[in-house]
Amino acid sequence: MQQVFASIITIGDELLIGQVVDTNSAWMAQELNRIGVWLKRRVAVGDDRNEIVHALDEQSKDTQIILMTGGLGPTADDITKPVLCEYFGGKMVVDEKTLDHVKYLFEKIFRRPLLERNLQQAEVPDVATVLHNARGSAPGMWFEKNGKVFISLPGVPHEMKGLMTNEVLPRLQQYFTMPFIAHRTLLTAGIGESFLAEAIKDWEAKLPSHLKLAYLPNYSMVRLRITGSGPDKTLLDQQLDREFTALKELVKEWMVVDEDKPLQVVIGELLKAKNKSMATAESCTGGYIAQMITSIPGSSEYYKGSVVSYANAVKEGLLHVSHDTLRSDGAVSENTVKQMVQGALSSLQADYAVATSGIMGPGGGTPEKPVGMVWVAAGNRHKIITQQFNFRFDRLRNIEMTAINSLNLLRKFIIENS
Of residues 343 through 402, those in contact with a second copy by CB under 8 A are 347-349, 361-363, 390-397, 399
Window 314-343: residues binding a second copy (CB under 8 A):
314, 317-318
# chain residues binding a second copy, by CB under 8 A:
108
Task: Say how many Å lie between the first and final Cα of the chain, rounded.
Answer: 52
CA distance 82 to 181: 36
CA distance 35 to 31: 7
Q: Which stretch binds a second copy (CB under 8 A): 28-36, 84-92, 170-178, 239-247?
A: 28-36
Nearer to a second copy, 103 or 129 (CB): 103
Least distance between a second copy and beta carbon 195 (Å): 7
Q: Which of these, 376, 383, 382, lies nearest to 408 by C-alpha position?
A: 376
Choosing from 305, 321, 337, 345, the residue that interacts with a second copy (CB under 8 A) is 305
Nearer to a second copy, 202 or 416 (CB): 202
Least distance between a second copy and beta carbon 363 (Å): 6
Least distance between a second copy and beta carbon 252 (Å): 19
Nearer to a second copy, 139 or 286 (CB): 286
- Do 355 and 376 touch, CB atoms closer than 8 A? yes
CA distance 12 to 22: 11
Least distance between a second copy and beta carbon 89 (Å): 25
Nearer to a second copy, 38 or 127 (CB): 38
CA distance 218 to 199: 18
CA distance 10 to 39: 14
For residue 368, give the DSSP letter. S
Helices 80-87 and 49-62, packing angle to 10 deg? 50
Residues 6+ apart with CB under 8 A from 60: 66, 145, 146, 148, 150
Nearer to a second copy, 229 or 325 (CB): 229
Helices 312-319 and 334-347, packing angle to 10 deg? 40
Nearer to a second copy, 112 or 242 (CB): 112
Cα 371 → chain centroid: 27
Q: Which stretch binds a second copy (CB under 8 A): 168-176, 233-241, 262-270, 309-317?
A: 309-317
Window 220-279: residues binding a second copy (CB under 8 A):
223, 225, 227
Whole-angstrom Cα Rg for the chain: 26
Window 82-121: residues binding a second copy (CB under 8 A):
108-112, 115, 117-118
Judging by DSSP bridges, how do beta strands 65-69 and 5-11 pair with one another? Answer: parallel
- Do 43 and 55 touch, CB atoms closer than 8 A? yes
CA distance 64 to 2: 11
Choosing from 63, 98, 309, 325, the residue that interacts with a second copy (CB under 8 A) is 309
Window 185-214: residues binding a second copy (CB under 8 A):
192-195, 197-198, 201, 204, 212-214
Q: Degrees (nearest 5) of the Cα angle 52, 94, 164?
A: 55
Q: Is 172 in the site for a second copy (CB under 8 A)?
A: no
CA distance 67 to 50: 17
Nearer to a second copy, 110 or 269 (CB): 110
Least distance between a second copy and beta carbon 96 (Å): 21
Window 128-157: residues binding a second copy (CB under 8 A):
135, 156
Contact mark string toward a second copy, 280..299, x via CB under 8 A: x-x--xxxxxxx-xxx-xxx
Nearer to a second copy, 88 or 310 (CB): 310
Window 50-69: residues binding a second copy (CB under 8 A):
51, 58
